Chains A and B, each alone.
Chain A
Amino acid sequence: MTPGLLTSIQNALDDPLWDASVSGVKNVVSNAIRALDSTVEIEDTKYFSHSFVPDFVLSWPKSSAGRTRDVFLRVVLDATTVRYDLDTVGGTHPILLGLEALTDELEPAGPEVAESKFHDVLLTDPLALACLGDGVLSEFGTVIPSAVIRSGEGRLGEDSSARLVQSADRVFTAAKEHVPQPIVDSQPTIEEFIGEREVGRLFNLARIVWEATGGDPMAFPLATSLDDLDVEALRYLLDSGPTARLDFWRSVGKSVTADLLLGVGLDRAANLDVLVATNLDRLAFRHLAMLPGRLDLDRGTRWRIDPDNSLILQGAGFEAVLATHKESLPAPRLKLERLAPDEFVRRVDGKRFSSVTFVDQAANTVTTENAAALHVGDGGVMQLLSAESGARVLGVGLDVAGGKRLECRFEDGTASGKTASTFSVQEFLTVAIPVLVKLSESDDQLIEQITADFATVATGPPGGEYQPQLLLQLNDFG
């Protein structure tokens, strides 16, 4: 446990200039909070140690809970201040962070500061936060610190922080070793300092670890649910989960959204391919952009997550970038052309579409829209195109199940919904990509293979009795 944080705060407080002192303290504290929970967004209110306006408002925009938490900095934290704060701001479930170490005066506090008044209120100090931060780099070291920031409660000093970290360490070690008793023994300490929701999340992750490392899920000693899979849990599974258990990944996939997957922050992971391969129908995005294939990339995996928040499929001659936000798409690099009518016909053969946009010989841009979906057999559209011998097709609106339309643009190699529709990875693979680009034979086979594998997984019996060659195919990244 290092005194670095406390010393840094004290040094900032010692600055004789008022503005510099305040901003120095706030920078140190906000950095410390961010180091404990990388998913938090911190709003500096520009108040300092005010009686009832917080110094910071914490939020977690990617969390479905939509919760915020106020942080009040307290240069002096004694029983009088605590009583006042509990009366004035205690109802807002804040963090009261003393800028010096908690004193014994607060333990035990007077009768006016009963334990019950600390429900959902965290009273802590820099030494406790530093203690939490010391374990962040270990395998599950981020779980407790983020749980404390989000929903810590009670009086958490340096000693109690150490107890809490040790208890969490025992839980996850026991989960990997499938030993139930340490998990049960650690539960009271964790529940003493962490709010109910985060306790559930923590033990849920422990259960996932238990099962993912081969433990019998029925033998896990506490009741949990897989429904609360979050970024930390998913990150762990992608790195260390059971690659070969397709039923496991199909089950995990029920809780994985595109935003959750992109929020994991891993470039590549051991299990990203199997997760995507077994959930092509569940992962949904709004935009696709086609890029040239990259020769310099390691071919170890088919799928990777880009830091700009997109999921990328690597083919031999292309990269398909899938994103939920248009801003996450890269600038177009694929030199595409406006399609000649015969190439257009070849690509959309077998597919239904509701619109075609083309440039006529006079360089006019024309869009035909039809109430009923068309296909290449419909004479009207082809007559329209072939009548203009110099016509070149710019785009097509492909019909996808559920009444959705996927607009494909040939000039920049992008596709997206007409409205705010999302499309599954499977739909992009089978509908959009073969239309947008002329696939090589190997890339054509790649997409066929991916969709065939998925078909087996999606229709396979519960319990995961899949064809052996499916596992070989999923592992064949050559």
Chain B
Amino acid sequence: MASTIARVTNHARVADRPPTGEEIQDKGTDGVQRAKHWLDATCRAEVLWYQPRNHVKKLQFMKMGAPAASVARDDYFSFDLGGLLAGGDDHGQHFAGEVKNYSTEGGQGPQYRQFLANAYCTEMRTAATHFDHYMWITWYPFLIEQWAELLTPNYVATALTATEKFRYTALGSADVDPAVVADLAPKLMVVVLGDRQEKVLRLQGDELTGVQQALVAIRKKR
């Protein structure tokens, strides 16, 4: 009996324990859907494909360091969501996005650099013809002291070689191509969302219905 009590008291309280893998996954899934709703609501970005089950092969790419025809899971990465822009001269441009539904900075630094490596790899794999925009969508700002540099070619180039893992993803055995970096940097954007922003600044009621009907009418003419 005493040993049982000792075992129990050695465990942390449930509320203090770290999230389970499934809880992390659920929060991630929830974040992707919330990001989709927010992007759709801009009436400018339409998310067509998104995690977790949404035929993510459309958003999946092989790392540059992977052997040809590799089927190893670690030799691939995928973006959380992808879609099209609507309207204007860039109507139909493709975007890809990574979503971090975090309530703290939570290690976004290395993850953001991994995202840059993924984006660079995708540019190489698709000859820079597939995506026009790469979005990092988060609920918590990160790398505050480097915030102004996050979208610059210099930061991108540094990120690609920061670790072997990033190098494997973006470069394989090749060197960083400054031209690719120069083309990639202007395609990057960081979007910071907030819980209250999503709820309060969302179209409602008659305005929503009116916008919906107007969008259908516009698309019909296109």
Interface set of A (CB-CB < 8 Å, partner B): 13-14, 16, 18, 21-22, 43, 45-54, 57, 75-76, 78, 80-81, 84, 88, 92, 100
> Given the interface contacts A18-B94, A45-B216, A53-B212, does A76 sit within 8 Å of B54 by beta carbon?
yes
Rounded to whole angstroms, the CA-CA distance of A45 and B215 in the bound complex is: 9
Rounded to whole angstroms, the CA-CA distance of A219 and B84 in the bound complex is: 60
> Given the interface contacts A13-B55, A45-B219, does A84 sit within 8 Å of B41 by beta carbon?
no
B33 touching A18, Cβ below 8 Å: no
Interface set of B (CB-CB < 8 Å, partner A): 29-30, 33, 36-37, 40-41, 46, 48-50, 52-55, 57-58, 82, 84, 94, 203, 208-209, 212, 215-216, 219-220, 222
Rounded to whole angstroms, the CA-CA distance of A88 and B94 in the bound complex is: 26
B55 touching A21, Cβ below 8 Å: yes
Chain B nearest CB, measured from A151 CB (Å): 20
Residues of chain B with a CB closer than 8 A to A51's CB: 36-37, 40-41
Residues of chain A with a CB closer than 8 A to B36's CB: 51
> Given the interface contacts A22-B48, A76-B50, does A47 sit within 8 Å of B219 by beta carbon?
yes
Rounded to whole angstroms, the CA-CA distance of A100 and B53 in the bound complex is: 10
A81 touching B33, Cβ below 8 Å: yes
B48 touching A49, Cβ below 8 Å: yes
19 A-B residue pairs with CB within 8 Å = A13-B54, A14-B55, A16-B58, A18-B94, A22-B48, A46-B219, A46-B222, A47-B215, A52-B41, A53-B40, A53-B216, A54-B212, A57-B216, A75-B54, A75-B55, A76-B33, A76-B50, A76-B53, A88-B208
Residues of chain B with a CB closer than 8 A to A48's CB: 46, 48
Instruction: Tell me whether chain A's interface is mostly helix, strand or loop, or mixed.
Output: loop
Chain A nearest CB, measured from B34 CB (Å): 9
Residues of chain A with a CB closer than 8 A to B220's CB: 43, 45-46
Residues of chain B with a CB closer than 8 A to A88's CB: 208
Residues of chain A with a CB closer than 8 A to B30's CB: 80
Chain B nearest CB, measured from A26 CB (Å): 12
Chain A nearest CB, measured from B30 CB (Å): 6
Chain A nearest CB, measured from B38 CB (Å): 9
A52 touching B57, Cβ below 8 Å: no
**Closest chain A residue to B46, Cβ basis:** A50
A52 touching B219, Cβ below 8 Å: no
Residues of chain B with a CB closer than 8 A to A16's CB: 57-58
**Which of A21, A22, A49, A81 gathers the greatest number of chain B CB atoms within 10 Å?**
A49
Residues of chain B with a CB closer than 8 A to A52's CB: 40-41, 203, 208, 212
Chain B nearest CB, measured from A41 CB (Å): 14
Residues of chain B with a CB closer than 8 A to A78's CB: 29
Residues of chain B with a CB closer than 8 A to A45's CB: 216, 219-220
Chain A nearest CB, measured from B92 CB (Å): 10
Chain B nearest CB, measured from A109 CB (Å): 16
Rounded to whole angstroms, the CA-CA distance of A76 and B34 in the bound complex is: 13
**Closest chain A residue to B26, Cβ basis:** A80
B37 touching A47, Cβ below 8 Å: no
Rounded to whole angstroms, the CA-CA distance of A14 and B94 in the bound complex is: 18
> Given the interface contacts A47-B215, A88-B208, does A18 sit within 8 Å of B58 by beta carbon?
yes
**Closest chain B residue to A48, Cβ basis:** B48
Rounded to whole angstroms, the CA-CA distance of A18 and B50 in the bound complex is: 13
Residues of chain A with a CB closer than 8 A to B84's CB: 18
Chain A nearest CB, measured from B27 CB (Å): 11
> Given the interface contacts A18-B48, A75-B53, A80-B33, does A50 sit within 8 Å of B40 by beta carbon?
yes
> Given the interface contacts A50-B46, A88-B208, does A14 sit within 8 Å of B40 by beta carbon?
no
Residues of chain A with a CB closer than 8 A to B215's CB: 47, 53
Rounded to whole angstroms, the CA-CA distance of A455 and B48 in the bound complex is: 65
Chain A nearest CB, measured from B218 CB (Å): 10
Residues of chain B with a CB closer than 8 A to A18's CB: 48-49, 58, 82, 84, 94
Chain A nearest CB, measured from B35 CB (Å): 11
Residues of chain A with a CB closer than 8 A to B41's CB: 51-52
Rounded to whole angstroms, the CA-CA distance of A22 and B84 in the bound complex is: 12
Rounded to whole angstroms, the CA-CA distance of A373 and B36 in the bound complex is: 72
18 A-B pairs besides A18-B49, A21-B55, A48-B46 with CB distance below 8 A are A13-B55, A16-B58, A18-B58, A18-B84, A21-B58, A22-B48, A46-B219, A46-B222, A48-B48, A51-B40, A52-B41, A52-B208, A53-B40, A75-B49, A75-B53, A76-B54, A78-B29, A80-B29
> Given the interface contacts A45-B219, A50-B46, does A84 sit within 8 Å of B209 by beta carbon?
no
Rounded to whole angstroms, the CA-CA distance of A13 and B216 in the bound complex is: 23
Chain A nearest CB, measured from B37 CB (Å): 5
A14 touching B57, Cβ below 8 Å: yes
Rounded to whole angstroms, the CA-CA distance of A14 and B60 in the bound complex is: 12
Chain B nearest CB, measured from A54 CB (Å): 8
Chain A nearest CB, measured from B154 CB (Å): 32
Chain B nearest CB, measured from A70 CB (Å): 9
Chain A nearest CB, measured from B43 CB (Å): 9
**Closest chain B residue to A78, Cβ basis:** B29
Rounded to whole angstroms, the CA-CA distance of A21 and B36 in the bound complex is: 19
Chain B nearest CB, measured from A298 CB (Å): 45
Residues of chain B with a CB closer than 8 A to A81's CB: 33
Partner of A84, one of B37, B48, B219: B37
